[in-house]
Amino acid sequence: MPTVSTEQVKRWAIRTAIGAATVGVLGSVLAVLLWRDRGSLESIDWHQYPDFEAATDTVTFTWLGVSTLLFDDGETQILIDGFFSRPSLADIVLGRFVESDAATINRVIDEYRMRRLAAIIPVHSHFDHAMDIGAIANRSSASILGSETSANIARGAGVPEDQIVVVESGEEYNFGRFTVTLIDSVHAPVGWGGSVPYAGTLDQPLQTPAPVSTWREGKSYSIVIRHPQGTTVVQGSSGFVEGALVGVQADTVMFSVALLEGLGQDYAERYWQALVTATGAAHVLPIHFDDFTQPFGEIRLYPRAIDDFVKVAGWLEGFRQSWDLDARLHIPEFGRQVVAYPPASPET
């Protein structure tokens, strides 16, 4: 048997270490390159949402990233979701403890003049939708509407019980001239093997700081926002229930396209039909296409390795041509307050 000298063992150890380090460095370089490879919204040539001067009692909406949306009719404001704090990629990956960022929330409430908030309605209870609902409610007299899980997020933030409403699916809730209905839906199956990431409910008040995985889905809803001037449906995750919106007529549909590429074109087409074709909407706006690990106000698409919205935008244009030729597709513009129900005109 040949003898192995300590010299040789040392040499092997050094080679193995160098090999591992090289793989590690190359892997990191590749990860950085993949992370930086992102599509551009400029390559999508849809019309801007029609630009109309808002009278004081006109319904407007303002998109604030992911699926956070502020509706306002000059008298009453409704906030869909509440996600301003934006934990970083490192916070998420390393499972760091995070909490609502008071300075950002105060600044956003001030900048977008959320002084007449009547309701805060998360589409479901994951952190990228519901993280700040409690902190926002505490700075207003708004009610939080949603599942028991959303109620427990609010309770954990110290929101008084009389500002918390656990909804019944299909029930109408009135705020000023707005009528809001939450219809049971499902979350997009974007976890391992078609599961839902961070599924389940919160049965106790959520105490923060906590890792982002603590915010559980709870229930997912399609939100119907009716007003004498028009109706909008908001779908906050790329999941749907076939036939759930039959009988709901909408002027505008705003639907999540997060990770829709990975679910495939056939799935996306059925999703389109369940939301756009079923409601007959004239204006369609994808939302939840922006990388939510960026700070509030920075809109960048996800790395192409995770999700390719530019490709999905091509699919959507195809669905429009096959099923809903009268509908118009628009990219929402961050922070711009637009008239929700513009009069129909041929070029829009």
Summarize as ranges the residues that interact with Zn ion (CB under 5 A): 126, 237
State residue 338 phi and psi, 5-degree precision.
-125, 155
Using the minimum distance from each CB to Zn ion, give the nearer residue, 126 or 283. Answer: 126
Query: Which pair of structure tokens corresponds to residue 238?
Result: 């790329």
Using the minimum distance from each CB to Zn ion, give the nearer residue, 66 or 109. Answer: 66
Strand partners for 71:
61, 78
Task: Supply the minimum distance, in Å, between the C-beta of residue 215 and Zn ion.
Answer: 9
Task: Supply the minimum distance, in Å, between the C-beta of residue 6 and Zn ion.
Answer: 56
Task: Supply the minimum distance, in Å, between the C-beta of residue 187 and Zn ion.
Answer: 6
CB distance 323 to 316 below 8 Å = no
How far apart are the C-alpha atoms of 342 and 59, rounded to whole Å?
Answer: 10
Q: What is the DSSP string of 291-326?
A: -TTSPTT---BPBTTT--HHHHHHHHHHHHHHH-TT
Task: Supply the minimum distance, in Å, between the C-beta of residue 35 and Zn ion.
Answer: 21
Using the minimum distance from each CB to Zn ion, give the nearer residue, 237 or 277. Answer: 237
How far apart are the C-alpha atoms of 245 and 225, rounded to whole Å?
Answer: 13
Hunting for tokens 């599942």 — which residue is that?
147
- Point out the residue whose Cβ comes nearest to Zn ion: 126
Which of 91, 133, 74 has its CA nearest to residue 109?
A: 133
Task: Supply the minimum distance, in Å, between the C-beta of residue 294 and Zn ion.
Answer: 17
Question: From start to end of the chain, where are the E strands?
Answer: 60-63, 69-72, 77-80, 117-121, 143-146, 164-166, 172-175, 178-185, 220-227, 230-235, 252-256, 283-287, 328-329, 337-339
Q: Name every residue whose Cβ is closer than 8 Å to that of residue 211 and which is 6 or more positions away in sequence.
A: 95, 96, 97, 98
Using the minimum distance from each CB to Zn ion, give the nearer residue, 231 or 237. Answer: 237
Using the minimum distance from each CB to Zn ion, give the nearer residue, 130 or 224. Answer: 130
Task: Supply the minimum distance, in Å, between the C-beta of residue 197 and Zn ion.
Answer: 7
Task: Supply the minimum distance, in Å, between the C-beta of residue 255 and Zn ion.
Answer: 13
Using the minimum distance from each CB to Zn ion, give the nearer residue, 122 or 342. Answer: 122
Using the minimum distance from each CB to Zn ion, give the nearer residue, 134 or 236. Answer: 236
